[in-house]
Every structure is written in structure tokens, then in C-alpha cells.
Amino acid sequence: MLNYDKLFEQVETCQDWYDFLDNPQYDSIDFGYAISHRFWNPDIAPYTYIGNIGGNWTWTKPNSAPNPNNCTLASEQAKVDQFGYHKSYDKYPVDDLLQRMIDLLEVTNVTANVNYQTPNNITRLHFDIMTTFLGEHEDLSSVPFDRDTLQPVGMKPLRRFFVALNDWEDGHVFQMGTEQWAGWRKGDVIDFHWRGVPHSTANTGFTDRALLKVSGFSDIEYIGDVILND
């Protein structure tokens, strides 16, 4: 059994972090559980509701073909192959409407897309490690990595927000730690406390589920109820 705690202490830069998790000799799930206790207590809520972006807007799925969720790292591949977790959700790009939502969250160095999950699809259990974010912001590669916060040193908090683009319906499953996010209304926004929290999603129902996922640096705490019209 690898000593992941010891290996983790060798990570010095953001590039080291990415390379560590893209190593096929490691198992991302074993590693996630090994360090989870540093960042997450199961008695603490894994997400915070920060407001609702209301209005007469309606997000419509583009006619263009989506991008698949193909961000499997080498440390994840063995379990993906073992259990056949290949299809999870589609990604759609941010349009002008969604960009205005992102602006409300005051996020910099943004990575964002629509996480679109159709019925009979599952996002396997995993830990967020923000390697997709770092992969899109190569300018951060040489920045020292803060092992206490799992992010680049000297930045605002690295956050992950979800905005509901349609109402929750039976069968839309979003598990975070020991809790479920359910019953959301269109426009509801949560701040996912991603560090060390095991989570997964599934669509066991009969309607599509759309969430705007936004990652980046932000120190905003609450947006309240705002109106955003087309």
C-alpha cells in the first residue's frame, strides 16, 4: 500500500500536483480517502446555498454536438476500466446568458461549462482535485502549491459553484459526502466545499439535468436573490 500522505508532502508546485495525479501507479480514490480527513469533516455540510439567480431566462441546449466528459486522469483509469465508468455527462459551452451568471459570482481565472446529464448516466464516485482547472490555466504551473488549501499560493479561495439551469426532478441525484443536494429550483446556486469531499451524480429519472459548473478564484460569500432577464 502506497504511503499517499508521504507522497503528497513532495508536491511543491501546481505542475507537481497535476503530474502526481496523472501517474498511473497511483489510485486517485485511495489517495483521496488518505488525505480527506485534512480538509473535510462529515459532520460539516459539504455545500452552502448562496442564492438564486431568478428571472424570465431559459437556458436552451445548443443544437451543436456536446463535448464528452473525458477528463480521466491516469490515476483514475484503472477503476474506470474495472467498472466500466465511461459515460457520465456532456459538456456544453458558456453562452452570453451563462457568462452573466458567472459575472455575478465575481470569479477570476474562470473554467466553466454546462454539466448536462441525460437519463441512465452516472458520474462515478470521485474527489475533486481541480486538475481540469489547472490544465486550462497553464500560467499557474510554476506557482507554488499550498497543500493546506489544495490550490496555488497567494490566490483568493479556489471555488466551485453550481447553478441549476432547470428545476430538480425525481431521479436527479447529486451526492456530496453524507448529504444529497435535491429539490433545487432553476437559478439556485451552491458553493461546493470540494476539498476532500467524495461525491458522485446520477440521472435515474426520465428528464435531462443541466447545471452550470463554475471554477475559479472568488471570495464572494452570498449573492442573495437576484433577477437576471434575457
The residue written with cell numbers 451568471 in the block is 101
Check residue 143 and report its DSSP letter.
S
Percent of the chain with pLDDT over 70: 99
What architecture does CATH give domain 4-227? Sandwich (2.60)
The residue written with cell numbers 464516485 in the block is 125
Q: How confident is the model over 68-97, as pLDDT tens digits? A: 776 688 999 999 999 988 878 999 999 999
Q: What is the mean pLDDT of the chain?
A: 94
pTM of the model: 0.96
Q: How confident is the model over 110-161, as pLDDT tens digits? A: 999 999 999 999 999 999 988 889 889 989 999 999 999 999 999 999 999 9
Angle at 56 between CA 54 and CA 58, to 5 degrees: 95
For the chain, domain boundaries: 4-227
Residue 229 confidence (pLDDT): 80
Question: SS3 letters for 88-126?
Answer: CCEEECCCHHHHHHHHHCCCEEEEEEEEEECCCEEEEEE
Residue 70 confidence (pLDDT): 63
